[in-house]
Amino acid sequence: MVTRHVLIGSGPASIAAAEAIRGIDADAEIRMIGAERAGYYSRPGLAYLLAKEVPESALFPFTRRDFDLLGVEQIHDRAVLIDPGKHAVRLGGGEALVYDRLLIATGSAAIPVNVPGAEMDGVVKLDDMDDARDLIRRSRAARTAVVVGGGITALEIVEGLRAHRVDVHYFIRKDRYWSSVFSESESRIVEEGLRSRGVTVHYFSELARILGRDGRVESVETAAGERIPCEMLAVAIGVLPRAELAREAGLACGRGVLVDTHLRSSDPDIFAAGDVAEVSDAATERRTIEVLWNSAAAKGRVAGHNMAGGPARAYEAGVPLNVTRLAGFRITVMGTVGGGGEDADMKGIARGDSETWRRRDAGTTVVEAQQGEAHVRLALGPRSIEGAVVMGDQSLSFPLQEIIAAHVDVGPLADELRAPSAHLGELIEAFWRDRTAHHA
């Protein structure tokens, strides 16, 4: 008997799930529902498309032939209802798809700004391919834009607009950028990078209202009464999981769809993966949302494996990692590095972000130094490196990724790294060379 799999969503979690299912069951029926017109593409690549560094064609890793070879039927429609009792998904066009196993991989959606004038033409975001195309189109005529928000996406928009020669004003509600993840010196490095690229950075600036004429944006006003003329207001204040379908279906939900270690929801035949899955960390029992491409794919692989009836496999969250570029600086963030607390510029988690970054256990020591062309910050446990930020030269990035991911006992190195004026880079490189030689 053929097992019928329906996957809601066309992002990395669904693709990985489909590959896992097909790897176990050559005869399974796999139907993928995707509401986005663009289909499956690289969401992280939108920043490089906006910055005119790659063509749009480079963002599509799968061709129609790839889907055919995988045996996946693509359905370009929107899922509007899940009926667990009937094991069916109703589409916007009225069709009902019957399933034996269902995957909810609906991703996350940008949080809209809530101020007077938010409905005007010219209020934009960078959430999907259509948004990127819209920003590029508007940038051809716009002279000035204001960007509000935090995290990675806000600066992707800032840099993309500057690549199109748009004058950009960037609002920071408090005294520095991304304070929940970056140290003060790291925030300053990024802010100075923005200014060197022609961006006007406004501190302690909170958007109060959007002003316009004939329904089009003409300026914005801050809470302090400052008015800035502009043709565009770009908003990046965070994303929230698209869990509405799951809630309406009666599934257990928190911020996202609550899943067990096998990525199974409160209904045994419904799984969730990607941004929408709220996963419990086995070690800490904390429930976490991540909006990371690699994490979404990893969850999708585990969900697909279990959906197909393979030997039960548990999802084990790896060390959250993102390698990105902000204000011209190559930056790697990994592990638990933040000081906790809320970011004043965000109302949710940002794309390319992990809640784990903000955590730091009691007893962790933070050391930070400029090492040649790299700025390095480490979060040190008694005998381990729990997290790191590397800005600029990335030669230390790979060794640190391996050390943190493997929970390597660094022994006396931890004490050496804590020493005043320690040469962090030299110490880590020497430790890594020695470890690599012993494991060769």
The pLDDT tens digits for 262-292 are: 999 999 999 999 999 999 866 566 788 889 9
Q: Which two tokens stand for residue 334?
A: 């990994």
Report the pLDDT averaged over residues 58-67. 93
pLDDT tens digits along 298-334: 999 999 999 999 999 999 888 899 999 999 999 999 9
Residue 141: how many CB atoms within 10 A of its CB? 9
DSSP-derived pairing of the beta strands 207-213 and 216-222 = antiparallel
Superfamily the domain 112-237 falls into: FAD/NAD(P)-binding domain (3.50.50.60)
Distances (CA, A) of 100 to 84, 87, 269: 10, 7, 7
Q: Model pTM?
A: 0.93
CATH architecture of 4-109+240-307: 3-Layer(bba) Sandwich (3.50)
Q: CA–CA separation, 416 vs 37, rounded Å?
A: 54
Task: Give the closest residue to 256 by CA, choosing from 56, 5, 13.
Answer: 13
Would you state the pLDDT for residue 1? Answer: 86
Distances (CA, A) of 297 to 18, 411, 420, 427: 11, 34, 41, 34
Which one-letter amino acid corresponds to residue 336? Answer: T
| Whether residue 371 has pLDDT greater than 90 | no
pLDDT tens digits along 77-136: 999 999 999 999 999 999 999 999 999 999 999 999 999 999 999 999 999 999 999 999
Would you state the pLDDT for residue 284? Answer: 61
Q: CA–CA separation, 349 vs 358, rounded Å?
A: 11
Q: CA–CA separation, 95 vs 266, rounded Å?
A: 25
* Domain ranges across the chain: 4-109+240-307, 112-237, 321-438
Report the pLDDT averaged over residues 392-420. 92
End-to-end Cα distance, the chain: 49
Q: Which helix (H) or strand (E) holds 272?
A: strand 270-272
Q: Are the CB atoms for 210 and 220 separated by under 8 Å? A: yes
Task: Give the closest residue to 160 by CA, choosing from 182, 179, 134, 189.
Answer: 134
Q: CA–CA separation, 167 vs 329, rounded Å?
A: 20
Give strand ranges (E) for 78-236: 79-83, 88-91, 96-98, 101-104, 108-110, 123-124, 144-149, 167-171, 200-202, 207-213, 216-222, 227-229, 232-236
Asked whether this chain's domains 112-237 and 321-438 adopt the same fold, the reply is no
Query: Please, what is the average pLDDT of the chain?
Result: 94
Would you state the pLDDT for residue 355? Answer: 84
Which band of pLDDT confidence, cut at 50, 70 and 90, is reported for residue 239? very high
Strand partners, 108: 241
Burial of 423 (C-beta count, 10 Å sphere; 0-12/13-18/19+): middle
| Residue 16: DSSP 8-state | H
Superfamily the domain 321-438 falls into: FAD/NAD-linked reductase, C-terminal dimerisation domain (3.30.390.30)
Which one-letter amino acid corresponds to residue 373? Answer: E
Which one-letter amino acid corresponds to residue 419? Answer: A
